[in-house]
């Protein structure tokens, strides 16, 4: 079954919320808002995704990884397990 837009919004919101805990709300939301195709509320909730959801998801992860590296990879791993139909280029064997 293909993931829905709502699945992506939920997953993106969970990733942002996890980053809020790690980075603080201001930085986490600011970094998410740097990603084209995603609309994020001040509370860190994804309210809209435009464009290819898979691309937006990858760009969000890349934005956080660029800031925090392996910490982000470990933090989002548990979220990906909850959404097995959504794939990304998060390669655990890659050196950061």
**Considering the entire predicted model, what is its pTM?**
0.76
How confident is residue 26, by pLDDT bands cut at 50, 70 and 90?
very high
Q: What is the mean pLDDT of residues 53-72?
A: 87
CA–CA dist 92, 73 (Å, integer)? 8
pLDDT of residue 92: 45
- Token representation of residue 52: 């290819």
pLDDT at residue 35 is higher than 90: yes
CA–CA dist 86, 83 (Å, integer)? 6
Q: Domain extents for the chain?
A: 5-82
pLDDT of residue 72: 73
């Amino acid at each position: 079954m293909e993931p829905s837009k709502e699945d992506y919004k939920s997953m993106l919101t969970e990733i942002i919320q996890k980053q809020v805990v790690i980075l603080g709300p201001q930085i986490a939301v600011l970094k998410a808002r740097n990603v084209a195709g995603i609309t994020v509320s001040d509370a860190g909730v994804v309210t809209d995704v435009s464009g290819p959801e898979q691309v937006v998801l990858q760009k969000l992860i890349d934005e956080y990884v660029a800031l925090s590296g392996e910490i982000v990879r470990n933090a989002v791993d548990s979220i990906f397990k909850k959404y097995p139909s959504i794939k990304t280029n998060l390669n655990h064997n890659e050196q950061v």
